[in-house]
């Protein structure tokens, strides 16, 4: 007779540990990084400053920020050997290429096995810098073009867009990308951070944990939603077809991508910053239709709000990326690039007071089955 267990499938509402990284109140849609409101950071901060805040726990002075900025800029190049590996992955999804690229970078990082907080933060800064180069190198190679070397005079977001397109973005577009990276930088015990913590909890290393995080982020229930939202917008085609599309999808038990969240039962506080930018960018680029389709979907989903299903961060992100001219399969890597500092911080926290993460599974299969020799089986 097996003992009765309390199952918490999907670890819903289970507290895993303590953190100083971010605070989320899902009931009212509140998000703080290190105590600071996501709204203040999205409106007033930069990605570089947010990286400093996450990794060091305080807003930087000008000189502290200058030091981090220099480290980020100096770490942007990736070894030729990693470029060669990416060249052999031209058909790979960019998220797979990023996972492979980060894994390969471990072989060139002088501190890969040093799990001290200082070394882990240094490696996190390097991976924050190198991940845009991996993504853009692969993106260029698969189009038969030469990778564009990073520019040391551009900020993190502007340099990413520059390496992707070969054109220096205007300040407004660079700022949109910057805000997007801020919004994606950290988010509690989400599936990819949890997975990264599991890896770190075996006293593996940051590169392994980030590879784990990238693999976990890839799925459509997590980071893959922005790509799926844009596919949905293409399928819908025009705002007047949104309701019909939703009715068909929902009546067959389907899920509307970009809606719902494990923790938020109110609007995801990150969504509003991308909503306004998707609207503005659409008007500026002469393509207001994508925002209009999304707004028609949002209207059609209003009746689900009473069940706690609201738009999440990914709903407007896809339209923003599309309007910036970014291919759809690079949407998830953008989320990953933004999340590297959050994964790093959580790995540092995990190492600081480590406890192996090893839950239990309730066994429900047959018991004590007699072993039958192979020639007596049928």
Q: Tell me whether residue 77 or residue 267 sits nearer to ligand CMC (CB atom).
A: 267
Choose between 151 and 255: whose C-beta lies nearer to ligand CMC. Answer: 255
Minimum CB separation from ligand CMC for residue 335, in Å?
8
Q: How far apart are CB 275 and ligand CMC at their closest, in Å?
A: 14
- Closest distance of CB 188 from ligand CMC, Å: 9
| Beta strand 36-37 pairing with 22-25 | unpaired
Known catalytic residues are 222, 261, 314
Q: How far apart are CA 333 and CA 319, in angstroms?
A: 15
Instruction: For residue 354, count CB atoms less than 10 angstroms from its CB and return exposed for 0-12, middle for 13-18, buried for 19 or more.
Output: middle
Read off the tokens for 134.
């991996």
The site for ligand CMC (CB under 6 A) is made up of 10, 187, 190, 221-223, 225, 255-262, 309, 312-314
Three-state SS at 311: strand
**151 or 231, CB closer to ligand CMC?**
231
CB of 93 to ligand CMC, least distance (A): 17
- Nearest Cα residue to 119 out of 336, 351, 354, 357: 351
Measure Cα distances from 155 to 47, 62, 231, 315 in Å: 9, 15, 30, 26
Smallest distance, ligand CMC to C-beta of residue 254, A: 7
* DSSP code at position 259: B
CB of 192 within 8 A of CB of 213? yes
Q: Measured at CB, which residue is nearest to ligand CMC?
A: 260
- CB closer to ligand CMC out of 11 and 90: 11
The residues, ordered by sequence, that sit 6+ positions from 34 with a Cβ below 8 Å of its Cβ are: 20, 21, 22, 53, 54, 57, 58
**Residues 131, 137, 138: CA angle, nearest 5 degrees:** 95
Q: Which is nearer to ligand CMC, 58 or 303 (CB)?
A: 303
Token pair of 37 as six digits: 């409101």
From residue 108, how far is each of 102, 114, 138 by CA, in Å? Answer: 10, 13, 18
Beta carbons of 186 and 24 less than 8 angstroms apart: no
d(CA 336, CA 340): 6
Cβ distance to ligand CMC smaller for residue 162 or 259: 259
- Quote the least distance from Cβ 8 to ligand CMC, whole Å: 12
């Amino acid at each position: 007779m097996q003992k009765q267990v309390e199952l918490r499938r999907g670890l819903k509402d289970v507290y895993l540990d303590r953190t100083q990284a971010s605070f989320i109140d899902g009931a009212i849609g509140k998000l703080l990084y290190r105590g600071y409101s996501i709204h203040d950071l999205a409106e007033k901060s930069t990605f570089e400053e947010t990286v400093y805040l996450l990794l060091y726990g305080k807003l930087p002075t000008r000189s502290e920020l200058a030091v981090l900025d220099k480290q980020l800029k100096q770490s942007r190049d990736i070894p030729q050997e990693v470029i060669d590996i990416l060249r052999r992955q031209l058909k790979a999804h960019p998220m797979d290429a990023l996972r492979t690229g980060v894994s390969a970078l471990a072989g060139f990082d002088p501190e890969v096995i040093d799990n001290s907080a200082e070394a882990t933060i240094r490696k996190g800064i390097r991976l924050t810098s190198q991940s845009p180069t991996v993504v853009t190198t692969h993106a260029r190679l698969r189009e038969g073009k030469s990778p564009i070397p990073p520019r040391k005079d551009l900020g993190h977001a502007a340099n990413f867009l520059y390496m992707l397109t070969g054109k220096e973005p205007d300040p407004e577009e660079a700022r949109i990308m910057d805000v997007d990276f801020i919004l994606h930088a950290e988010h509690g015990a989400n599936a990819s951070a949890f997975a990264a913590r599991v890896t770190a909890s075996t006293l593996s290393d940051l590169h392994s944990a980030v590879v784990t995080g990238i693999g976990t982020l890839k799925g459509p229930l997590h980071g893959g939603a922005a790509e799926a939202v844009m596919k949905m917008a293409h399928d819908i085609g025009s705002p007047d077809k949104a309701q019909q599309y939703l009715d068909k999808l929902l009546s067959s038990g389907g899920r509307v991508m970009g809606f719902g969240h494990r923790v938020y039962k109110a609007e995801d506080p990150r969504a509003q910053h991308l909503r306004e930018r998707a609207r503005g960018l659409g008007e500026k680029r002469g393509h207001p239709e994508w925002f209009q389709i999304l707004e028609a979907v949002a209207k059609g989903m209003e009746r689900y709000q009473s069940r706690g299903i609201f738009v999440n961060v990914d709903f407007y992100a896809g339209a923003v990326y599309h309007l910036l001219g970014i291919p759809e399969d690079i949407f998830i890597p953008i989320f990953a690039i933004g999340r590297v500092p959050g994964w790093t911080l959580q790995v540092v926290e995990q190492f600081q007071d480590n406890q192996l993460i090893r839950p239990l599974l309730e066994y429900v299969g047959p018991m004590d089955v007699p072993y039958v020799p192979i020639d007596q089986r049928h």
